[in-house]
Amino acid sequence: MDNILMKMRADYENLVPGLNLDYEKLKLFMYLRRGKKGMILKESLTVENCSRYICEGYLGLLVQKEEGEVLKEIFKVTDVAFDFKSYWRGKKTKSYLICLSDVTYFEVSKKSEHELVKTFPEFMDLGLAINHRLQDRLIKRSSIRGSGIHKGYKKFLQEFPAIETLLSQNRIASYFNCTTRTVRSVQKKFKTGEL
């Protein structure tokens, strides 16, 4: 855990220069967890009650619709992953969080997060910086997705290295709101250098 905690610490100190936090205190409020590819961390029709700092791997936020499952978000190393709508509103959603690869993450319950900030207010600045970074990343990813697969696929692969080896063409199609046939065509063009 200590090696992984040191990586998180380096990330956070890079995010907020001059940050002087006691990470031993932080360890009291979070748990190191590991998930296998395909493992569901938050079920559909449940309330999200924790957030997860990703140390290794990818998580996906999906929703089951009549036309099939839709990949709404992808979370990577240093992201904080959770079902936003459920977490902030305290309500059940149809979304579920799944491991797209084997994943190592720190989990903090909503209750523990509140206790941490209440007990150690110095963590408030870090929390704000984490939220700002996540918002910036989600806006960037939304722009990539919104540009369509033809224009966005190369940036998608840059944003999520090796993700194409983890996702089915169906999931990529649902992410870009296109057909699997279009995904196959774009992947073929990408491999031959036409894209």
| 82-109 pLDDT tens trace | 999 999 999 999 999 999 999 999 999 9
The CATH code belonging to domain 2-146 is 2.60.120.10
Taking the C-alpha atoms of residue 81 and residue 72, their distance in angstroms, rounded to an integer, is 12
Among 102, 128, 101, 111, smallest CA distance to 12 is for: 128
Q: Residue 1: CB partners within 8 Å, gap ≥ 6?
A: 27, 32
Tokens 């110095």 found at: 122
Cβ contacts of 5-10, under 8 Å, gap ≥ 24: 7/55, 8/53, 8/55, 8/106
Predicted structure pTM score:
0.93
- List the domain boundaries for the chain: 2-146, 148-195
Report the chain's mean pLDDT, rounded to a whole number. 93
Angle subtended by helix axes 148-159 and 180-191, to nearest 10: 60
Could you give the count of Cα atoms lying within 13 Å of 123 in the half-sphere of its Cβ?
A: 17
